[in-house]
Chains A and B, each alone.
Chain A
Amino acid sequence: MTALLLRDLKLSVRAGGGALIGVLFFMTVVAVIPFGVGPDLNLLSRIGPAIVWIGALLSALLGLDRMFQTDREDGSLDLLLMQEHPLVLTVLMKCLAHWLGNGLPLVIASPLLGLFMNMNEMAIGATMLTLFVGTPALTFIGAVGAAVAVALPRGGLLVSILVLPLAIPVLIFGVSASYAAVEDPAPFMPPFLILVAITMFFAVLGPLGAALALRNAGD
């Protein structure tokens, strides 16, 4: 299991620079926003947490379709399917590796983008914390989409369409927790705890669904 984790991590860092491209895309999306809404710093600081969250969501979708597809192309997916280990655990490991390679860099890059958006320290900290808790859920949901579309020749766009509706609750509670930290009357804990619950829920459901889809999608 650890070997699989290390292998996937190495692949995600070395081959094709998937992680770097995700962060670059994240920065590009956020950088495009001021051109669209105008460089009004007050407005930017107000919509900042939402923009950073949407940017992270979009860039998390970017690398999803390669999650199982590269393994399928070089045949290692068949080896994973034939292992003695329960497939669910294997998928969970792959999700963790994918998150470490693609999700964590987004979380680390988010304070910088928060500065660009003229957010104060409190808001930056809250956004980073919610991203840290919320992005694993995006990966787990995405794993189901990636496994469903693994055999499709051009599944990338389809994965995004299938995954985005399911990812909406994560976005809602992530953004509302970030705002609650800044605005006084709203308490921070309830939306944050719901976000944690969503992540834990999909940590169980996601690998289960993905494993089921992978078994059925085999040729």
Chain B
Amino acid sequence: MTESLAISKFSDLANPTRFLALAARLLPFMAAVTAILFAVGLYLSFATEGDYQQGMTVRIMYVHVPAAWLSMMCYTVMAVSAIGTLVWRHPLADVSHKAAAPLGAAFTLIALATGSLWGRPMWGTWWVWDARLTSVFVLFLMYLGLIALNRAMDDPSRAARVSAVLILVGFVNIPIIKFSVDWWNTLHQPASVIRMGGPTIDQEFLWPLLIMAIAFTLLFFTLHVMAMRNEIWRRRVAAQRRMAARLAGRESGSEA
């Protein structure tokens, strides 16, 4: 019974107006919580002690690691939306994965750039062709390819369905990124927070990192909802323009 209720609630959102109303109510709260968490997280990440070996550069981690997590989570959100597009033909799913692609590209770029800045003092090089770095770079290229594909098609619903297929095929890459550091013995360190047997990272670093991770996740969802809202409005404007153009054509035709 509860499940059917959840499904009906979910399909209620297929009406864009309901979604817009919900978004308008939720967005201020989400933005506020994100801002507070960022304030706390940034304060903590500068207030805690530096690493005895890495010194101040360890603070790059508080941006780098959450951005890297988000780059993978964003693709997962896109894959779930892609299933929504193909299986249930949910109209919001189209909008969702289209709006998420630029966000994912941005988070991936942040992860790559901060990782590069961190690698310079620690590994002595800006870039190495190590398994994790390469596969994240491939993820970045896939985001850009999806954006290019979406822009290349005029009809939004067809573009959504076709790019959904591609998203699902490209999802193969996500486990490869996740486990690349375990499968190949490379320069990038293996996972130290989410692993069997508890985190190996010190408490001192764990707290700011977790708060920053939650802040980044909320930031993603806030931006995602905002981008979806913009996309819906953009489609409405396009539809109204088309209608106005048709009306104008009819009027000038009757005058002539």
Contacts and interface: CB of A to CB of B under 8 A. Distances in A.
B176 A148 contact: no
B158 A216 contact: yes
Interface of A: 141, 144-145, 147-149, 151-152, 155, 158, 161-162, 164-166, 168-169, 205, 209, 212-213, 216-217
B149 interface: yes
Nearest to B164: A216
Interface residues of B, number: 23
Given A168-B138, A217-B158, A148 B149 contact: yes
Given A161-B144, A161-B145, 18 more contacts: A141-B169, A144-B165, A147-B165, A149-B149, A149-B152, A151-B153, A152-B153, A162-B145, A162-B149, A162-B166, A165-B142, A165-B170, A209-B165, A209-B166, A209-B168, A213-B165, A216-B86, A216-B158
Contacts of B162: 148, 213, 216-217
Nearest to A216: B161
A166 B169 CA distance: 9
Contacts of B201: none
Nearest to B151: A158
A164 B137 CA distance: 12
Given A148-B149, A148-B162, A216-B161, A165 B168 contact: no
Nearest to B160: A216
Contacts of A166: 142, 169-170, 172-173
B147 to A, nearest CB: 11
B221 to A, nearest CB: 26
A212 B165 contact: yes
B60 interface: no
A149 B145 CA distance: 12
Determine chain A's interface SS by DSSP, over half rule. helix
Contacts of A144: 165-166, 169
B165 A165 contact: no
Q: Closest 6 interchain pairs by CB?
A: A216-B161, A213-B165, A165-B138, A162-B145, A209-B169, A165-B141
Interface in B114-163: 134, 138, 141-142, 144-145, 148-149, 152-153, 158, 161-163
Nearest to B153: A152
B148 A158 contact: yes
18 contacts: A144-B169, A148-B149, A148-B166, A151-B158, A152-B152, A155-B152, A158-B149, A162-B149, A164-B141, A166-B142, A166-B169, A166-B170, A168-B134, A209-B165, A209-B166, A212-B165, A213-B165, A217-B161
Contacts of A141: 169
Contacts of B149: 148-149, 158, 162
B148 A161 contact: yes
A143 to B, nearest CB: 10
Nearest to A215: B161
Given A165-B138, A212-B86, A205 B169 contact: yes
Contacts of A165: 138, 141-142, 145, 170, 173
Centre residue among A147, A212, A213, A216 by max chain B CB count within 10 A: A216
Contacts of A168: 134, 138
